[in-house]
Chain A
């Protein structure tokens, strides 16, 4: 896996993208800032849905919360784009950093969890429930995994300068 990341990093360096990104003084701090906007949008909405599934925000119909998922995906897309810019600015520094590696693993796990929720029909079943109903236990499990994974992503992201190799 690391080998392919290195190949990708080599390519980014070869086409001059890393140098170009590092050249613009405010591109990296600006991308970090917008990265936080995307984080707030994504976690604010998904966190809301997870809390409702766990039973904490009864009164909110689940169908209306899942309708916000596309907006959360906008936040995710913003973070993919800004994340790529940040990565490309110093590719080896990130790909060889253990916190970054775990962050990617956690994002993949969160995505897989969401996919299972959708594809298994569990999301459809939850959307059919009333605003104050309890959801099936499997849906609560999905919500707990989701919350853990996204908080974990924020943790690994925050730890990037402090864990693993020195920045």
Chain B
């Protein structure tokens, strides 16, 4: 497996991200990752909090329009994330914190699908009731908090890349 990851790291694109020193490679890709996070987690938190009863006068139904924004954020992050991963594959793929982050993201996205059916679906509120929706929302918010934490701490936990340009510590 390590050989495969080394090969990925040796690709022209990966080398460019890691070693070009250009602001348009690693730094901008990281920035896009932050923007995608904002588009995905921001509206997600708004929906989750609304389900939990914050701002009860805000009508729930129009908030379904947020889903395309969230999916845009997801794909921005999947793409930028893949680019970041390629640049440092051998280190990241053996970092337990990275897998923790992916697990949190997977659960959170699953929650978004379940919430869409339960809260915005054809028979909202009829699917096993409010308590279940609130549980889904709580899991959603917890998982985003976990994903953000795990992501930020990737610069500090587990094997850290020795590549000089990939320093993501402040």
Contacts and interface: CB of A to CB of B under 8 A. Distances in A.
Interface in B120-170: 144-145, 148-149, 152-153, 155-156, 167-170
Nearest to B50: A68
A67 B46 CA distance: 12
B38 A43 contact: yes
Nearest to A35: B152
Interface residues of B, number: 40
A155 B30 CA distance: 9
Contact of B149 (A33, A51, A67): A33
Interface stretch (B11-19, B56-64, B87-95, B98-106): B56-64
Contact of B59 (A61, A151, A162, A167): A61
Main secondary structure of the interface of A (DSSP, over half): helix
A60 B58 CA distance: 8
A121 interface: no
B156 A154 contact: no
Contact of B152 (A33, A41, A64, A159): A33
B23 to A, nearest CB: 6
Interface string B22-64: 0100110011001101110111111001000011011101110
Contact of A44 (B26, B27, B38, B54): B38
A163 to B, nearest CB: 7
Contact of B170 (A28, A57, A65, A154): A28
A153 to B, nearest CB: 11
Interface residues of A, number: 37
A71 interface: yes
A144 to B, nearest CB: 16
A32 interface: yes
Nearest to B148: A36
Interface string A121-155: 00000000001000000000000000000010011
Interface of A: 28-29, 32-33, 36-37, 39-41, 43-45, 47-48, 51, 57, 59-61, 64-65, 67-68, 71, 86, 131, 151, 154-155, 157-163, 167
Interface of B: 23, 26-27, 30-31, 34-35, 37-39, 41-46, 49, 54-55, 57-59, 61-63, 65-66, 69, 144-145, 148-149, 152-153, 155-156, 167-170
26 contacts: A29-B155, A29-B156, A33-B149, A36-B148, A40-B41, A40-B148, A43-B42, A44-B42, A44-B43, A45-B42, A45-B46, A47-B38, A47-B39, A48-B43, A57-B65, A59-B61, A64-B55, A65-B58, A67-B55, A67-B58, A68-B58, A71-B49, A71-B55, A158-B30, A159-B31, A161-B170
